[in-house]
Amino acid sequence: MFELTSRERVSKAIKLEKPDVVPVAPYMGNYGARLAGVPISKYCTDGEKMAEAQYTAWTILGQDMLVVQSDNYYIAEGFGITIDLEYDSTPTLKKPVINELEDINKLKVPNPLSDGRMPVYLKAISILAKKMQDKVTIRGTGTGPFSLASHLMGTERFLMELAMTKHDPDGKSAKLLRKLMQLTTEALTEFAKAEIDAGAHIVQAGDSLASIDVISPKMYEEWAFPYEKQFFQEINQYSKKYEASAVLHICGNTTKVLGLMADTGAPIIEIDYKVDLKAAKEAVGHRACLLGNLHPTQVLLQGSPELVKQEAERCIENAGDNGGFILGSGCEVAVDSPLDNLKAMITTARNHKY
């Protein structure tokens, strides 16, 4: 028998304390749909099915965190983008809402209770919160400000417009782009607050496009960091009365900006598989709980249970011995990952007692 509930275990790690055993939380949104036999196209559009799938995954695996997540466009749809959705697939961007920079002036922050597919996620969180009764951590989702802005404009166009601002940093284009970033920050913040109200214990700024594999550290510092920081400042304050928390996830090798990521005030930093976890622990592990970082493809999808166990033990050795650590996947678990590999990951964490 374990001394703590999953919720208590994760809470201790977030406080940089040692729980009873290492908490374990693979990032498996659509993987839950696959385990439950729910088409992903149904999972991402039906809050009841989303909750059902996450609950089913938990009954099979017993992980410490339910991940109410699927795709990236649920907030952006509230701004007016359109998507394509094929059977058993996640949505893809069909048409952005910004055709000319002046269109930014027409945008309004969407209502998370009624706009886009945000209500789908809120319904799933609410169902799970009632079902789990605070025993298991519920992790909501959230598109980071930088990534959300790209969804509204189109990624290539957005990055090109940002690059051009260096020639006129105080010009009209730069001011409009700053306005866009402020709008996306406010949209994420309002959605995260609604998630907490619905029962989420952890909300997220998933800013995948802010990866240093895509943009420079300087662009991150100028165009992503200030808005992530604004989000965490507001959410950290809002979440106090709920004892909730928040996580910053950026894909790729973020080693050069780990200090800035901690400077955002994110209580949890999710570390992708490309980052040396030991170096990350030494750099920012005293400032934030680290979550990561098994390779989702080479280890969880293509590896064996023995390899998963070996790599999970390595992660724990590199970042988990003193607490403040949650064993996770470096990024989203692929839907075809062998179930035995996920079981091996969770068993390894359960066997590591403090």
For the stretch 80-121, pLDDT in tens is 999 999 999 999 999 999 999 999 999 999 999 999 999 999
Nearest CA among 17, 16, 46 for reference residue 33: 46
* Cα–Cα distance measured from residue 231 to residue 75, given in angstroms and rounded to the nearest whole number: 15
pLDDT at 40 over 70: yes
For the stretch 137-180, pLDDT in tens is 999 999 999 999 999 999 999 999 999 998 888 899 999 999 99
Predicted confidence at residue 326, as pLDDT, reads 99
Nearest CA among 158, 274, 146, 168 for reference residue 221: 146
- Sign of the C-alpha dihedral, residues 104, 106, 107, 109? positive
* Cα–Cα distance measured from residue 311 to residue 345, given in angstroms and rounded to the nearest whole number: 9
Domain contains 14? yes
Instruction: Find the CATH number of the domain harbouring 153.
Output: 3.20.20.210
* Cα–Cα distance measured from residue 104 to residue 174, given in angstroms and rounded to the nearest whole number: 12
Region 276-291: mean pLDDT is 97
Count of CB atoms situated within 10 Å of the CB of 45 = 17
Domain contains 16? yes
* Cα–Cα distance measured from residue 72 to residue 90, given in angstroms and rounded to the nearest whole number: 9
**CA 342-9-245 angle, 5° bins:** 100
Instruction: Determine if the peptide bond prior to 293 is cis (ω within 30°).
Output: yes
Domain contains 129? yes
Domains in the chain, number: 1
For the stretch 241-269, pLDDT in tens is 999 999 999 999 999 999 999 999 999 99
Predicted confidence at residue 160, as pLDDT, reads 97
Domain contains 1? no
Quickly state the pLDDT bin for 1 (edges 50, 70, 90). low
Domain contains 324? yes
Quickly state the pLDDT bin for 337 (edges 50, 70, 90). very high
Bridging pattern class, strands 65-67 and 245-249: unpaired
Q: Which residue has the tokens 């920081």?
A: 229
Region 37-66: mean pLDDT is 98
Give the type of residue at 40.
Answer: I
For the stretch 307-327, pLDDT in tens is 999 999 999 999 998 999 999
DSSP H/E element including 190: helix 172-198
Domain contains 277? yes
Mean pLDDT of the residues in the chain: 97
| Three-state DSSP state, 271 | coil
Contacts of 71 (CB under 8 A, 6+ apart): 44, 90, 91
Predicted confidence at residue 83, as pLDDT, reads 98
Half-sphere exposure of 43 (CA within 13 A, CB side): 31
pLDDT at 51 over 80: yes
Domain contains 179? yes
DSSP secondary structure letters along 40-59 = HHHHTT-HHHHHHHHHHHHH
Region 122-129: mean pLDDT is 99
The boundaries of the domain holding residue 149 are 6-350
Distance of CA 127 to the CA centre of its chain: 20
pLDDT at 221 over 90: yes
pLDDT at 54 over 80: yes
